[in-house]
Amino acid sequence: MPSIARTFRTASHFSRSTTKTYFNVARSFSTTLRRHEINKVYSSPSSAIADMKSNSTLLCGGFGLCGVPDTLIDALKSKPEITDLTAVSNNAGVVGSGLGLLLETKQVKKMIASYVGENKLLEQMYLSGELELELTPQGTLAERCRAGGAGIPAFYTPAAFGTVVQTGELALKHNSDGTVAQYGAPRDVKVFSGKPYIMEESIKGDYAFIKAYKADKLGNLEFRLAAQNFNGAMARNAKVTIVEAEHIVEVGEIAPNSVHVPGIYVDRVVQSTSEKNIEKVVNAKDPKDAMSALGAGDAASKRERIVRRAAKEFKNGMYANLGIGMPMLAPSFVDPSVEVQLQSENGILGLGPYPQKGLEDPDLINAGKETVTLAPGASCFGSEESFGMIRAGKINLTILGAMQVSARGDLANWMLPGKVKGFGGAMDLVSNPQATKVVVTMEHTDKKGRPKILKQCEFPLTGKACVSRIITDLCVFDVDFTEGLTLIELAEGVTVDEVKAKTEAPFKVADDVKPML
């Protein structure tokens, strides 16, 4: 019979051996040599989409022509047998570029998008019944993509309450004669803390086409400047995420804190070969020429008056979002002592001026798809984060154009009869008027002299009870969502009677009406 001491020595030997074997096995999974055997790089775009099937949902990153996976789109175009796709993207490219190519080849049966106003082919196909179109507010689209990738089936948002999105009165599909074949579904509404929200279902993609600046063999991604837009949220969403990268690098060449999308979300990587395009090249102008964008003659004088007055809305330390057109010119008249951080909903905080000629960057555009620069201290991020800060009320001020405003501050600025454009980000920008002051800049009447400030808006709404101030070429109104309009300022040479004659909505007159400028 063995001694007790020998028994313990034997047991100890096996214990040490087992532990050593266990740690050796564990370490073998994390050695540099074995980890680098993972390689998600494909030899060509065609091989990366070889198993792609018809009737799939395709998520496509990009905003305008910035950050668009054109190499992958070109590869898909060369496979016309892949049809009946549901394409999800902020916009549908333009004729001859981006997703516009897949519309030309009739490979897309349905578009889910925010803004399609730059694609006349899509408008034609939609109105003639060749294409289904599900228009979605831009922030809602970003969150539907983000939520789908995070395993959240639905969520509530304040954006689009009281609009055709909530009521389901927006045409999803037309008949060949232009009549409506199918409307969208009405949204469920719930009230949280006294405020109404509508329910939106998330989007889940079968495939995602993504454009990245850098990708390594593990699939880690780094984006550049405003080209992140929808790419990050969509890359995290699909069953199969395919990335085209400008630079394919070795593992470790992207710093850990520079990885915008971890490789766990990415399945395939290919080399991007398509040239980067710029949709709208806009350059800096000499200050004396800057106002040429407002036109000429009497119309330009009216608009300059509006822009100069709008500049007074900026206060030091504000975060502001500006619509295209007149609002974008307002910062030119802000006093140098006032520092304002400008936000662009495509993923920029710290928007700078237009670039000098020759210094345009295709990865730096604003929400109007115009070339821009960054101010010192700027940051760039994805569209889902951009709209998160907007809905949360982190933006102090937004200045927008409008087609009509009602006596109670309802806003209509996204649709004219017979035109197919889309919402863009406006419905989100006006969704939290308690925290974000919404200022409208517009001419007091339309081109035919008809009032644009009405008892009730005639055009489809962008938001209900959201506009706090209206600045026109004649005057300034403050808006109370319950009590209505109060005239607080008059332009030089304008009388109260003239304003009454050109305003359908009733209004009060402040005791101390001030001059506009």
Looking at the annotation, which residues are catalytic?
Answer: 345
The SS3 call for residue 506 is coil
CA distance 333 to 312: 8
Query: 300: part of which helix (H) or strand (E)?
Result: helix 297-310
Integer angstrom CA distances of residue 451 from 123, 414, 442, 465, 472? 29, 18, 11, 19, 11
d(CA 1, CA 142): 75
Q: 3-class secondary structure for 430-469?
A: CCCCCCCEEEEECCCECCCCCECEECCCCCCCCECCCCCE
Using an 8 Å Cβ cutoff, are 88 and 62 in contact? no
Bridge partners, residue 245, by sequence: 212, 271
Distance CA 170, CA 116 (A): 15
Residue with tokens 């400047």: 225
Cα–Cα distance measured from residue 431 to residue 427, given in angstroms and rounded to the nearest whole number: 6
* Partner residues linked to 173 by β-bridges: 182
CB 129 within 8 A of CB 105: no
Check residue 23 and report its DSSP letter: H
User: Which backbone phi and psi does 334 adopt, to 5 degrees?
Assistant: -80, 140
User: φ and ψ at 427, to 5 degrees?
Assistant: -65, -35
Report the alpha-carbon distance of residue 506 to residue 35 in Å, rounded. Answer: 71
How many CA atoms lie less than 13 Å away from 313 in the CB half-sphere?
A: 30
Token digits of residue 417: 């009869």
Nearest to 208 by CA among 141, 247, 266, 146: 266
